[in-house]
């Protein structure tokens, strides 16, 4: 309980639990991938002299648009990765809870994931 700065900084080092490490890793990967894709889209847009495109590319047309190096495709995929990151984060938490045999939180997390997907399904109708 000392207020000495040296001790304070030693105490501030938090040893992450497995769930924290997994979540952090998933989020960092999501951010890095999404920013890289958006940057690629911006560079392609500038290179083609078209600036920022309007409107996203629908999922079904995405592979072809990516292959054609359309800036909108890379920007769209960057946004999709960003939007998908929380889904992956919840799924990753589920796996960690399962590995820790924490049945209650496997259930809780499964319900969250299910309702997220249900929301998407309902919204599409």
Partner 1 sequence: MGALIALLAVAFLAGVFGSMLGVGGGLIMVPMLSLAFGVPIKVAIATSIVCVIATSTMAQTTFVTRGMTNIRLGMLLEVATVVGAVAGGVTAVLIDGRVLQFAFAGLLFYVAWQMNRRGGDATPARTGVLEASYYDPAARREIEYGVRRTRLGFVLSLGAGNVSGLLGVGGGAFKVPIMNLVMGVPLKATIATSNLMIGVTAAAGAAIFYGRGYMDPYYAVPAALGILAGARLGPRLAVRLSARALGIIFQVVLAVFALMMLLRGLGFGL
Identify the residue among 11, 43, 46, 50 touching partner 1 (CB under 8 A).
11
**Min. distance of Cβ 48 from partner 1 in angstroms?**
14
Q: How far apart are CA 119 and CA 111, in angstroms?
A: 12
User: What is the smallest separation between the CB atom of 96 and partner 1, expressed in angstroms?
Assistant: 9
Least distance from partner 1 to the Cβ atom of residue 67, Å: 18
Choose, by CB under 8 A, the member of 62, 64, 85, 99 that binds partner 1. 85
Stretch 86-125 residues interacting with partner 1 (CB under 8 A):
86-87, 89-90, 93, 105, 108-109, 111-112, 115-120, 122-124
CA dihedral sign of residues 63, 75, 120, 124: negative
Q: DSSP letters of 38-81? A: HHHHHHHHHHTT--SPSSPPPGGGHHHHHHTT-HHHHHHHHHHH
């Amino acid at each position: 309980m000392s207020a000495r700065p040296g001790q304070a900084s030693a105490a501030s080092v938090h040893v992450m639990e497995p769930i924290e490490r997994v979540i952090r890793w998933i989020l960092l990967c999501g951010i890095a991938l999404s920013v890289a894709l958006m940057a690629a889209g911006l560079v392609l847009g500038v290179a083609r002299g078209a600036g920022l495109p309007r409107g996203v590319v629908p999922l079904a047309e995405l592979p072809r648009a990516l292959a054609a190096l359309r800036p909108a495709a890379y920007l769209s995929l960057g946004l999709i990765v960003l939007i998908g990151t929380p889904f992956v984060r919840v799924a990753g938490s589920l796996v960690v809870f399962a590995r820790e045999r924490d049945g209650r939180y496997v259930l809780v997390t499964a319900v969250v994931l299910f309702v997220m997907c249900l929301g998407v399904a309902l919204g599409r109708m």
